Amino acid sequence: MIHIKEVAKQTQITVRTLRYYDQIGLLSAPSKTEGGHRLYSEEELKKLQYIHFFKRMGYKLQEIKDMLSDPEWDWSSGLKSQLAFILEEQRRLRSMELSMRELINGIAVEGGNEPLAVQKLIQLSNQHKKGLPDLKEHQLKAKEPDLWAKLPKMNGEDPDSLEWIALLGQIKRLIKGDPASSKVQNIIRRMAEKQGEQFGDEEQFVNELWEIRKSPKQSEQLGLYPIEQEVLDFMEQAFQIYLSAADSRISKEETDEH
């Protein structure tokens, strides 16, 4: 017969908890001293291990009490349903994680305008819930699923997505300035490089995507992170400048070669 503090030491369960288990009839002390001090036996230690194990598995004390007292308890279905519950919780946490990453990246894009980032995210998730039945299977998504999957994701943690996010964030900071400035042009060049690396010769796809981008409604319905119209215009402007500059470099090189 061991007293309560010994049990606590051996099982790492607090004295308070042991008394509570006694109180709710989950694990009662088999005997007491004349003065009323609880005395436990090895039997209780084992039972306590059981209880502790199932509690760590996420069972509620009442459930554990039921399964210990009921010799007809259906282990098979009980364990499986608990496993299903655990898997469901994992999915829930996974989606929480993705939303948090999306928010963190969104704040980076918005250059520290947190409320705006939160607002856009909420807007997106509302959109997502609505189901958008007509455009859900957009031709582009259906036609090129593999390319679509390669698009940078706001909830991603891969280096590619992160750089896109960083580039976009920088553009937004420079929007008041000159689209021909070297800072802007360097960013645009980097974007063009990445686009080339990731989508290569799929120009058709990239063009269509850009068209969608320029329509806020379509972008939203397809779950693309919302970008303000002026930012898009600025980027297009800068891109035109970039292209013509590249052209003139080429013709200059051609001239040089002569």
Partner DNA sequence: CCTTGAAAGTGACGCTGCGTCATTTTGTAT
Partner DNA sequence: ATACAAAATGACGCAGCGTCACTTTCAAGG
In order of 6, 24, 27, 85, 149, the CA distances from 36 in angstroms are: 17, 17, 16, 41, 68
Positions 3 through 22 that interact with its own copies (CB under 8 A): none
Positions 69 through 98 that interact with its own copies (CB under 8 A): 75-76, 79-80, 82-83, 86-87, 89-90, 93-94, 96-97
Q: Does 103 bind its own copies (CB under 8 A)?
A: yes
Structure tokens, 90: 């994992």
Q: Give least dist CB 33 to its own copies, A.
A: 29
Q: Does 129 bind DNA (CB under 7 A)?
A: no
Question: Which residue type does 163 have?
Answer: E
Q: Does 4 bind DNA (CB under 7 A)?
A: yes
Closer to its own copies by Cβ: residue 24 or 93: 93
Residue identified by tokens 């290569």 is 200
Nearest to 153 by CA among 168, 136, 142, 143: 168
**Total residues binding its own copies (CB under 8 A):** 33
Query: With contact defined as beta carbons under 8 Å apart, do 52 and 38 qualify?
Result: no
Pick from 12, 34, 76, 146 the residue near DNA by CB under 7 A.
34
Query: Which of the 8 DSSP states describes residue 153?
Result: -
Write down how long the chain is: 258
Residue identified by tokens 């908890």 is 17
Options 12-20, 42-50, 197-205, 243-251: segment touching DNA (CB under 7 A) = 12-20
Residue identified by tokens 């909830």 is 155
184 vs 191: CA distance, rounded Å: 11
Structure tokens, 22: 């006694």
Closer to its own copies by Cβ: residue 90 or 204: 90
Q: Give least dist CB 232 to its own copies, A.
A: 25
Pick from 10, 30, 49, 60 the residue near DNA by CB under 7 A.
60
Options 112-120, 166-174, 203-211, 238-246: segment touching its own copies (CB under 8 A) = 112-120
List of residues 6+ apart from 216 with CB closer than 8 A: 226, 229
Q: Does 115 bind DNA (CB under 7 A)?
A: no
Q: Which residues bind DNA (CB under 7 A)?
A: 3-6, 14-17, 19-20, 29, 32-38, 55, 60-62
